[in-house]
Amino acid sequence: MKKVAVVFADGCEEVEGLSIIDVLRRLGVQADMVGLNNTAVNGAHNIKLTCDKTVDESLLDYDIVAFPGGATGAENLRDNEKLADLMVKRHEEGKWDAAMCAAPIALARYGVIADADYTCYPGFDKQTKKDAPSGHFKENITVTDDQHKIITSRGPATAWAFAYAIAEALGINTKDLKAGMLYDYLAENIQDSL
């Protein structure tokens, strides 16, 4: 069975992290909520989250480790030395990593997005470009770099697209779930609602 860890830090964008967990669990993927320092995490909008476990060496065993954004949450991820060490090891082992919104600043600081195609929340590319000048910033909704095994996305409204991109990197067909969750309907009709 495929396994994905979503790392939640205080100040995270709750909708981004929970969207990944929700979509992957619907698809039958083991999706674990991993707290950065504690199993109790307070999100950016004061939504209390209860994680399954905390960051430890088992992060090396996951097929993908994903980070939700939120400025404070992303900074907490970026500045955690234990997490940084584990993510560098994952990268050296050729494992997939994912980050959205502000969280690519953590991957940039770790050196994980060096030379990779990626995206992030508007304005945070200033920091990613400083910490990973060899990376290639794009303005796409999601960016999957198969060569460097990096998946990134822009912000809260792109959370489902990000979750589906993660599932697809695992080789999972998302067609039926996209239809069932009305994701395709939304994509086809978004202009009508604007």
**Second-level CATH architecture of 3-193:** 3-Layer(aba) Sandwich (3.40)
In angstroms, rounded to a whole number, what is the distance separating the alpha carbons of residues 59 and 57? 5
Label residue 192 by pLDDT band (50, 70, 90).
Answer: confident
pTM, full prediction? 0.97
Q: Half-sphere exposure (CA, 13 Å, Cβ side) for 191?
A: 1
Label residue 194 by pLDDT band (50, 70, 90).
Answer: low
- Report, as an integer, the average pLDDT of 83-109: 98
**Tokens read off for 175:** 């067609």
Tell me if 105 sits within 8 A of 74, measured CB to CB.
yes
In angstroms, rounded to a whole number, what is the distance separating the alpha carbons of residues 185 and 183? 5
**Tokens read off for 47:** 């939504």
| Exposed / middle / buried, residue 122 (Cβ in 10 Å: 0-12, 13-18, 19+) | exposed
- Work out the percent of the chain whose per-residue pLDDT is above 90: 94
pLDDT in tens, 38-51: 999 999 999 999 99
What is the residue-averaged pLDDT of the chain?
Answer: 97
pLDDT in tens, 13-41: 999 999 999 999 999 999 999 999 999 99
Find the distance separating the first CA and the last CA of the chain, reported in whole Å: 40
pLDDT in tens, 175-188: 999 999 999 998 88
So what's the pLDDT on residue 190? 79
pLDDT in tens, 44-70: 999 999 999 999 999 999 999 999 999
**Tokens read off for 174:** 């998302």
So what's the pLDDT on residue 93? 97
